[in-house]
Structure 1
Amino acid sequence: MTDPKGASLYAASTSADVTRSTEEDPLVDGPLISADALHSAIRREFQTIPTPCPAALLSLLHMVYVALSICVAVECELELGRAEECGSVLGVVKGQSVIVFGKVCLWVLVLFFGECVQHHHSRARSRGYLRFYRQTQGLQRLPLTVHSAGNVLLLVVLAARLKPLLSISMILGILGLELVVALLCLLLYTVRVMQFNRDRAMPDVSQEEISHTYSNTSLPTETGFREGSSLEEVVEKQADLIEYLKQHNTLLSKRLLNLTAQH
């Protein structure tokens, strides 16, 4: 004899299963979003680093400064030109002082350029481009280091109180050497950044995921400790990756919702 209470419980559980399956079926049978679609959406949002133009402008200003310094030194300090016109233009200020003042202004511009570069590279680092950030970390500081070293040498020459001809010759030599080294540094930096902007690569984590997906052998990632790497560097990399993955997951969630709505 069948228990009516048991039958009613069975019917209720059956109806609940049917209701649950009908609620879950649209999610299961819905359009699946491929990883390529998500990667292409992220790739379209690639943000370039806009520092090559400021680097070119800074190089141009540096060359103009050195050219004007040579003119001031020849015309006013060495008195090989029109000394009277120099006196009327500069007044009581000596030509050597004008060169030093210009060097200070140029150093301030280099300082601002370094802060701008650091800002944009830190943003690229937060977007997951850790390898690029570390490859250009030394190049970011080089222009300011070169100009600061040039300032130190100028101070040494001025403090030595050498003969005017020797002093101005050494100052022009320091400015010329500084110009060559600074232009090489900025040129190398500009090439690296322009290549990065042209490649429009995906973040490091996405590149590793793709390489592991299509490679036959499992390669070690950059997040673990390996021989020859310091513990501080590994911890820094892990912190960067954790911060990036938080933003990466947020972006993927938004893209999933948008692409699901489109399908």
Structure 2
Amino acid sequence: MDSKGPSLRPQAGPSGDITQSTEEDSLVDGPLISADALHSAIRREFQPVPTTCPAGLLALLHVLYVVLSTCVALLCVLKFGQEEVCVNILDGVQGDSVIVFGKVFLWVLMLSLSIWMQHHHSRVRSRGYLQFYRQTRWLKQVPFTVHSIGNTLVLSLLAMKLPQNIHIYLLLSILGLELLVAASFLICYTVKVVQFNKERAAPDVSQEDLSHTNSVTASPAETGFRGPTNLEEVVEKQADLIEYLKQHNTLLSKRLLNLTAQH
């Protein structure tokens, strides 16, 4: 009995080690989820930014407003014919007052659109599309700023009490310049968002991981920043990345708890 005991223990020990190492190898070398499968799953969860239609519609309304304001200014204020038609349509309201009222209404629409865009872009930022958020930040802010500056100029023009002809020509100049700048930025913004929705790309972190995985065999990994960088921009990018990773880890923890509760 004593002679068999030691002979069995050496056999059991190596066999146990072999079994354990085999299981570990199977866990390590087993089939993992491919990067393509992960990115395809991310693309399925992609949520487009629904601000293209409101932005395009507002740009169209801005063009229509400037055209109608020009017609009102020429026909009803400067009185280049059709005075009776203007009196019947405007019902006794002065033409320049109608233009100002329309300007206020357009500004309210622009304010609503800015709040709507900021809401959706904040969600895009929280989902990890930091580069897109930074690229479109000024494109969505400039139109509202231009409209606000235009309102200030119109109020200043009304306070000056200039001769009617000069007043109308300056008012139309302000509206035309405002249309040129605001509509251009809205169109550029719409194009950017349409391209973003078509690409349905993965978040920035996933793209960087994929590019690093593809390039790690071609060149050694580099640490630090390459080329001239702006310190404030680097800090902002890092802050955005940290915030996204925190939210992403929280979401993954919730999903893990849900899966654990289901099993």
Compared CA separation, residues 220 and 147, structure 1 to 2 (3 A): farther
Counterparts of 1:193 and 1:205 in 2: how far apart (Å)?
Answer: 20
Q: Post-superposition shift, 1:107?
A: 0.7
Q: Post-superposition shift, 1:90?
A: 2.7
Q: Post-superposition shift, 1:36?
A: 2.4
Q: Post-superposition shift, 1:117?
A: 1.2
Q: Post-superposition shift, 1:152?
A: 2.0
Residues 151-170 of structure 1: pairs in structure 2 closer than 5 A: 151-170=151-170
Contact 1:225 1:234 in 2 (8 A): no
**Amino-acid identity (%):** 60
Equivalent residue number for residue 97 of structure 1: 97
Compared CA separation, residues 191 and 219, structure 1 to 2 (3 A): farther
Residues 54-65 of structure 1: pairs in structure 2 closer than 5 A: 54-65=54-65
Counterparts of 1:38 and 1:67 in 2: how far apart (Å)?
Answer: 51
Give the letter aligned to residue 32 of structure 2.
L
Equivalent residue number for residue 243 of structure 2: 243
CA RMSD of aligned residues (A): 3.4
Equivalent residue number for residue 217 of structure 1: 219
Counterparts of 2:185 and 2:221 in 1: how far apart (Å)?
Answer: 34
Give the letter aligned to residue 180 of structure 1.
L
Residues 134-145 of structure 1: pairs in structure 2 closer than 5 A: 134-145=134-145
Does 2:225 correspond to 1:193? Answer: no
Equivalent residue number for residue 113 of structure 1: 113
Give the letter aligned to residue 34 of structure 2.
S
Equivalent residue number for residue 76 of structure 1: 76
Counterparts of 1:145 and 1:82 in 2: how far apart (Å)?
Answer: 36
Q: Post-superposition shift, 1:143?
A: 0.5
Counterparts of 2:136 and 2:40 in 1: how far apart (Å)?
Answer: 26
Compared CA separation, residues 252 and 217, structure 1 to 2 (3 A): farther
Q: Post-superposition shift, 1:247?
A: 4.0
Equivalent residue number for residue 47 of structure 1: 47
Question: Normalising by structure 2, what TM-score?
Answer: 0.79
Compared CA separation, residues 143 and 67, structure 1 to 2 (3 A): same
Higher mean C-alpha deviation, range 237-246 or range 35-44: 237-246
Counterparts of 1:220 and 1:99 in 2: how far apart (Å)?
Answer: 60
Query: Which 4+ stretches in 1 moved above 6 angstroms?
Result: none
Unaligned runs of 5+ in 2: none
User: Once the two structures are superposed, what CA deviation does each residue of 1:35-63 show, in whole Å capped at 9, x if it has no partner?
Assistant: 32122111221111111111110011111
Unaligned runs of 5+ in 1: none
Counterparts of 1:65 and 1:219 in 2: how far apart (Å)?
Answer: 56
User: Once the two structures are superposed, what CA deviation does each residue of 1:66-94 show, in whole Å capped at 9, x if it has no partner?
Assistant: 11111211221111223234334334421
